């Protein structure tokens, strides 16, 4: 079953909205890692700058302090960044600052050593960028900035027709290809895993036929709401009248269409509340922060919508209402609503009935 779902997902093209959700989700979960990369990058640059400054007898200039201040400022801004597309821009600014700082430091060492350190710096920066949660345009812009700033042929004594130049070009192509491939494959794998998780969650918590939440989803969400807001809560149990006759007369395909149509009405009129298909022809709605008059107005309107539906196979619904009293569990509320539903079905259908203690005595 898992392989079947996985193969199906691999054939799908993730929609733009899902990709955007994935990018934001990845950034939210990687923000601390991004801060760590920024901090480590600053530490490495500072150590290298100190080595070159003192062992190379150059001294620690005001430029070094300026670059440290800029990089630290960008790291602080990252701590307040909440949108993934803002991080794309912020990361490019950080790349531009740190690569320019590297260039200035490396230009202070002997010319013969510069190409090696420039390529080493480029490798470090490109690897760091490849594991960050950035979009493709930001990644390729970062590559372009890095190679432009740390170009091993600028400010060195290497001629393009030298053997050393050929080796550097070959390494640059190999490095760029490897980093690009790794970045794209990692992004693809992460997006695939995110998409798989979404599909499996939908399978677990969304009713496949009606495309509304299922019983498992409702029980989890309603239980949380029951504990969070104990006052002004009602439960409505909904049943399609004479649904068995519809199936027997017209077939299960028509029965499925009726279920879908009723689900559409519930979704349209109860969008601000928790609702679900419990199973078969039964649905449920959990109301919060409403008084009895407001709840009765809501369920009365739903009955009217279904009754006046101009579909080819008209149906009506019966609804059992129950107030969720202090100390009631969700199971107790469902039992009360079911008792009220039974009364609605046996007193004429196409109506709603509010639960009373008398209904419990007669059940």
Neighbours of 176 (CB within 10 A): 15
Q: Is pLDDT at 94 greater than 70 in this prediction?
A: yes
Helix (H) or strand (E) holding 234, with range, is: strand 233-240
- Percentage of the residues of the chain whose pLDDT score is greater than 90: 38
Q: Which residues neighbour 48 within 8 Å (Cβ) at sequence distance 6 or greater?
A: 102, 105
In order of their start, the domains of the chain are 2-203 (no CATH), 215-362 (3.30.70.270)
- Residue pLDDT, tens place only, 156-200: 777 777 787 888 888 889 999 999 999 999 988 888 888 878 777
Considering only residues 343 and 7, tell me which one the structure prediction assigns the higher pLDDT. Answer: 343
Sign of CA dihedral 308, 258, 9, 22: positive
CB 352 within 8 A of CB 322: no
What per-residue string of b and e applies to 44-80 under the rule 16 or more CB within 10 Å gives b? Answer: ebbebbeebbeeeeeeeeeebeebbebbeebbeebee
Q: Is pLDDT at 357 greater than 80 in this prediction?
A: no
Q: Is pLDDT at 28 greater than 80 in this prediction?
A: yes
Give the DSSP letter of residue 260.
H
Q: Which range has the worst mean pLDDT, 5-14, 136-145, 268-277, 330-339?
A: 5-14
CA separation for the pair 126, 128 (Å, rounded)? 5
Alpha-helical regions (H) of 107-205: 114-130, 136-149, 163-205
Q: How confident is the model at residue 363 (pLDDT cuts 50, 70, 90)?
A: low
**DSSP tally for the chain: helices H, then strands E:** 13, 5
Q: Is pLDDT at 2 greater than 70 in this prediction?
A: no
CB 227 within 8 A of CB 324: no
- Residue pLDDT, tens place only, 107-122: 878 888 888 888 888 9
pLDDT for res 224:
83
CA separation for the pair 279, 62 (Å, rounded)? 72
Q: Is pLDDT at 282 greater than 60 in this prediction?
A: yes
Q: Which residues neighbour 213 within 8 Å (Cβ) at sequence distance 6 or greater?
A: 205, 206, 207, 221, 274, 275, 276, 277
What is the model's pTM?
0.67
What per-residue string of b and e applies to 129-148 under the rule 16 or more CB within 10 Å gives b? Answer: bbebbbbeebbebbbebbbe
Q: How confident is the model at residue 327 (pLDDT cuts 50, 70, 90)?
A: confident
Give the DSSP letter of residue 273.
S
> Could you tell me the CA-to-CA distances from 267 to 272, 276, 279, 296, 354 in Å, in that order?
9, 9, 16, 17, 22
- Which residue reads 């803002």 in tokens? 86
Q: Is pLDDT at 151 greater than 70 in this prediction?
A: yes
Instruction: Give the pair of three-digit tokens for residue 214.
Output: 């299922």
Integer-rounded Cα Rg, in Å, for the chain is 32
Residue 267 burial (CB < 10 Å; 0-12/13-18/19+)? middle
Mean pLDDT of the chain: 86
pLDDT for res 167:
87
CA separation for the pair 44, 32 (Å, rounded)? 18
CA separation for the pair 130, 186 (Å, rounded)? 9
């Amino acid at each position: 079953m898992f392989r079947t779902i996985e193969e199906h997902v691999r054939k799908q093209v993730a929609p733009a909205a899902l990709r955007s959700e994935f990018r934001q989700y990845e950034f939210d979960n990687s923000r601390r890692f991004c801060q760590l990369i920024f901090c480590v990058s600053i530490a490495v640059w500072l150590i290298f700058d100190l080595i070159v400054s003192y062992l190379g007898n150059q001294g620690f200039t005001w430029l070094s302090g300026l670059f440290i201040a800029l990089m630290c400022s960008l790291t602080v801004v990252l701590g307040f960044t909440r949108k993934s597309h803002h991080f794309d821009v912020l990361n490019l600014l950080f790349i531009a600052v740190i690569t320019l700082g590297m260039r200035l430091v490396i230009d202070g060492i002997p010319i013969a050593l510069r190409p090696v350190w420039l390529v080493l710096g480029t490798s470090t920066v490109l690897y760091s960028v490849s594991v960050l949660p950035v979009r493709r345009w930001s990644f390729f812009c970062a590559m372009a900035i890095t190679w432009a700033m740390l170009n091993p042929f600028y400010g060195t004594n290497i001629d393009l027709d030298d053997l050393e130049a050929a080796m550097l070009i070959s390494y640059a192509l190999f490095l760029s290809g490897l980093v690009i491939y790794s970045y794209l494959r990692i992004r693809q794998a992460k997006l695939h895993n995110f998409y798989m998780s979404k599909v499996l969650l939908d399978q677990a918590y969304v009713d496949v036929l009606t495309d509304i939440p299922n019983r498992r989803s409702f029980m989890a969400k309603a239980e949380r709401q029951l504990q969070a807001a104990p006052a002004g809560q009602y439960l409505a149990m909904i049943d399609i009248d004479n649904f068995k006759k519809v199936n027997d007369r017209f077939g299960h395909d028509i029965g499925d269409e009726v279920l879908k149509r009723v689900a559409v009405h519930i979704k349209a009129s109860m969008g601000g509340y928790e609702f679900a298909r419990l199973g078969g022809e039964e649905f449920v709605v959990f109301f919060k922060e409403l008084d009895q008059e407001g709840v009765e107005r809501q369920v009365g309107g739903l009955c009217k919508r279904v009754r006046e539906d101009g579909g080819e196979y008209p149906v009506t619904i019966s609804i059992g209402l129950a107030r969720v009293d202090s100390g009631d569990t969700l199971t107790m509320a469902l039992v009360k609503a079911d008792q009220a539903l039974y009364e609605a079905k046996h007193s004429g259908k196409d109506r709603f009935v509010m639960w009373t203690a008398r209904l419990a005595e007669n059940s």
